[in-house]
Chains A and B, each alone.
Chain A
């Protein structure tokens, strides 16, 4: 009975909170009916109607009559290339903090008219005025998260609490690290107590040395493969995003998660409107829609990432509201650092060191021996056939 009231109450609440939004839409946005918006988001980063979840884009189309063309990217850098190249017109992009700073700096995103986004009031104060958008002009937070260590309790002993676990020789061959330079370097930098936004080349070099030390223990550098490898028990230790741990944990209950004591990266993915947008009004309508309680709730439930929307956290129906990993009680005590946009020189140092890390430590002598013997064999064959041909030709003379 209590549950029944709960449901009735929450439905009422959602209806009430949605009402003003409907009122605004029916008043002002009828002329947008039949237009289109192009949305560019991370892969697997919206509630898409699978497993009985709400299909957010279909819902938006139903309510507003605006068609959503949905595309996905798999890294901030990839998204940047697409946007910078100018070949595609997007009305909505959802990059991470440091990339937003870069997009603003290069004039690739435009200011949002916040009078069209009344639901911005739902965003928690601590996710407003962030460093990349200090006056809240360009972005509306969509998801937040932190990086931590996921480990298999069947293999890892004790209660680890530090990044040192990823350098523990006991687990050689069962450790995995990020397969992108920024996140992988951050792991070493936190371990060494260096800022992840340092511009000092020596400090990057030190982090590189640390990763080089780790490399013999690393089974593989992964991104999306992490789900399969951790769920099947192929690997035992990996640094990854907290939200994704919950998904993995559903499939393998032996997995556990912690935030290392040395500190970790925190990120905010926010919704922005590119300068090239052709349908800004509809884009603002979409942003407002994403920040609406029922939609944000559906996304938070589906994605398992922490929501920056206070209405979601106040909602009784939200199954993850007490989840320690997403919303740690001691969050203010944890040491966290945002990525900042690196200047081109530092970026260059980082990516060159990353290339070196990939090349380093591979046995190359075998390759030399192989290539040289191959060339010798080919040369002998060529000489042999040429000589034979000439000799034959001489018979006909």
Chain B
């Protein structure tokens, strides 16, 4: 009986395994293959050596990704906490409000931000109307980080919220019974238990922020490049698939290192629940 069920389990899982193999594993192997070959398909390390020219760009992307993630975290945690403490009906409405912007394509939303932030855009028109001095916002790093935070904030709110709602209330009550004040209940009980949500939130914000190219192109005006822009250019403009693959490979390795480090860090907390890489 037991054996039979595992057979059925395997049968059910096989489409997914096949799918992952074809569309995730094989492409990754192709990226690795392209990274170490030249246009004629022979082995070369040239692509890897050339990467050193782009160290600054890598670091800049990492830094912007980190800032965007931290801002998201600082903004999202109170929101998620507030929502999880509300009444059930209010919770559904508020989660809906968080989700609604995601119904629209993120390219369009980013393009809209361009019109809002421009020197002759919505914000500056309002400032002029109120006779206030205009602000220059578009084509600056801050505009790019704003775009990242805006686009990826829901991905931070949702996992934290779902962890907080599933939180075992009896543990909170136990802490209160044992004499902990509100601050200590939060710091010693609620926060450690929500670490798993924070970790998956950070992953879901950090990874797309580091590799974005559209946001930096539209809100940065193309005057500075993030690593995503450079990778995109290798494929779209230079037709240099091999170098593009090498850049992507290194970016993936960097992200993996960051994630592994973060999981290790969060393990040292008294975290419950599984980690997401």
Contacts and interface: CB of A to CB of B under 8 A. Distances in A.
B114 interface: yes
A222 B54 CA distance: 23
Contacts, number: 100
Nearest to A381: B265
Interface residues of A, number: 42
Interface string A348-368: 100100111011001010011
Given A225-B218, A228-B115, A359-B54, A77 B62 contact: no
Given A218-B223, A378-B265, A385-B269, A75 B120 contact: no
A220 B59 contact: no
A154 interface: no
A2 B13 CA distance: 77
A168 interface: no
Interface in B125-172: 138-139
Interface string B199-239: 00000000000000000011001111100011001111111
Interface string B224-266: 1100011001111111100000000000000000000000010
Interface of A is mostly: helix
B225 A77 contact: no
B235 A351 contact: no
B128 to A, nearest CB: 13
Given A232-B120, A378-B265, A215 B236 contact: no
Contacts of B66: 370-371, 374
B240 A348 contact: yes
A63 B252 CA distance: 53
B268 A385 contact: yes
A75 B115 contact: no
A371 B63 contact: yes
A73 to B, nearest CB: 10
A371 B236 CA distance: 30
Contact of A221 (B62, B221, B239, B268): B221
A368 to B, nearest CB: 7
A218 B238 CA distance: 23
Interface string A52-81: 000000000000000000000001011011
A233 interface: yes
Nearest to A223: B222
A278 interface: no
Given A385-B269, A386-B268, 4 more contacts: A77-B236, A220-B139, A358-B222, A359-B57
14 contacts: A80-B239, A219-B221, A225-B114, A225-B218, A233-B120, A351-B233, A351-B237, A351-B238, A356-B53, A358-B223, A359-B57, A362-B224, A374-B66, A382-B265
